[in-house]
Amino acid sequence: MSVTAGVVAVGSRALATRGSEDLRNQVVLPSARRAAGDRPATTDRPTTTTTTEGPWTPMPGLSPWITPNDDFYRIDTALIVPRLDPSTWSMTIGGFVEHELRFTLDDLLGMDLVDSAITLNCVSNEVGGGLVGNAVWTGVPLADLLAEAGLEPGAEQVMAWSVDGFNAGFPVATALDGRTALVAVGMNGEPLPFRHGFPARLVVAGLYGYVSAVKWLDRIQLTSLDDDGYWMPRGWAKYGPIKIASRIDVPAGSRVLTGRQPVAGVAWAPVAGVAGVEVSVDDGPWMECRILQDGAPGQPGDSWVQWLHTWDAQPGVRVLRVRAHDLDGRVQSPGPKAIAPDGAEGYHVRRILVA
């Protein structure tokens, strides 16, 4: 089915732009009853580096810990953003299940909702690129819905479809291994924006979007691993775990003054979580950075961290590199590795003129 045909096929559930925002605004997003993983919002994250209870005072150029909805990247196959009527929309769960289920938006809103700050990352993001963002997602744990449906033998993969015809899948074991996987209905305290999947979408911590982030959710089927999602026949890898990565945001430009200068950015390491971030100048020794102790709702590895190093900048053209390592002892790959078929790898490098 073509993307355009998929949009047309949703029929009466689709709305013209006029008035659709009003219907979305009438949706009341209940407060989540708990954080994903039952981690209290003030619980400290174990780490091997110096931490700061934060967030820090905003620093020009440094990505905010929470990415505003309007700034969150968007990658999908929809030529036209679907605008679905929340009063008539529903999603189903079928395939290798004991009970086929159907849920309306009101059904989902009435369930045991959880909050979790989760970093989403597009597989096509270049090293140091901007196709990554962090939001507090509100939704129903996918594991709860699968338990209600009951899994039959042969249920090896969660395959989800959007109303635009896009589909993506990942192993059932991933949905049940303790990570946060949600049928999300909210983003940063409000109903999902249309461009980010209203009324419901999948959000799975630690997986690139091309295998998991199905927006404008239509149905979930439990299938065998033989079935492929949209991107597999197009040359992308079957499985899409997000790689450990870090990015230098500050200095924002290519020139700084001599003396003490901040070097800062973000780092992520799903699903284990960031244990430390280090910076190197001119291929010199790695220097430990301070990382933010975010106190986020959700599990430790779900979201990125901000990091900061104070650099004694000396005159000349200087080369900055950054790397991260996770709580399981894995270190970010130096790369370089191309984006295809399963995501880029490498240290983010910045060349800075100090004068």
Domain 245-354: give its CATH code.
2.60.40.650
Question: What is the DSSP code (8-state) at residue 77?
Answer: S
Question: What is the structure's pLDDT at 40?
Answer: 36
Which of 160, 164, 75 shows the shortest CA–CA distance to 123?
Answer: 75
Question: What is the structure's pLDDT at 156?
Answer: 98
3-state secondary structure of 40: coil
Which of 295, 46, 298, 326 shows the shortest CA–CA distance to 180?
Answer: 298
Which of 232, 260, 242, 137 shows the shortest CA–CA distance to 192?
Answer: 137
Q: Is 106 left (phi over 0), alpha (psi -120 to 50) or beta?
A: alpha
Question: What is the structure's pLDDT at 297?
Answer: 78
Contacts of 164 (CB under 8 A, 6+ apart): 3, 6, 7, 76, 77, 78, 82, 216
Around Cβ 300, how many Cβ atoms within 10 Å? 22
Helices (H) and strands (E) in the chain, counts: 5, 21
Around Cβ 74, how many Cβ atoms within 10 Å? 14
Can you give the pTM of this predicted structure?
0.89
Domain 3-15+28-42+66-234: give its CATH code.
3.90.420.10
Looking from the CA of 155 toward its CB, the CA atoms found within 13 Å total: 23
Question: What is the structure's pLDDT at 5?
Answer: 29
Domain boundaries, the chain: 3-15+28-42+66-234, 245-354
Question: What is the DSSP code (8-state) at residue 38?
Answer: G
In contact, 13 and 218? CB cutoff 8 Å? no
Burial class (CB in 10 A: 0-12, 13-18, 19+), 349: middle
In contact, 267 and 246? CB cutoff 8 Å? yes
Question: What is the structure's pLDDT at 169?
Answer: 99
Looking from the CA of 150 toward its CB, the CA atoms found within 13 Å total: 4
Amino acid at the residue 185: V
The four Cα atoms 254, 256, 262, 263 give a dihedral, to 10 degrees, of 30
Question: What is the structure's pLDDT at 13?
Answer: 52
DSSP secondary structure of 268-281: E-TTT-EEEEEEEE
Name 288's bridge partners: 278
Going residue by residue through the chain, which has 355 residues, state the pLDDT in tens, using 9 for 90 and above.
222 223 333 444 555 555 678 889 899 999 877 767 653 333 333 334 445 555 566 789 999 999 999 999 999 999 999 999 999 999 999 999 999 999 999 999 999 999 999 999 999 999 999 999 999 999 999 999 999 999 999 999 999 999 999 999 999 999 999 999 999 999 999 999 999 999 999 999 999 999 999 999 999 999 999 999 999 999 999 999 999 999 999 998 999 999 999 999 999 999 999 999 999 999 999 999 999 865 667 787 899 999 999 999 999 999 999 999 999 999 999 999 999 999 999 999 999 999 9
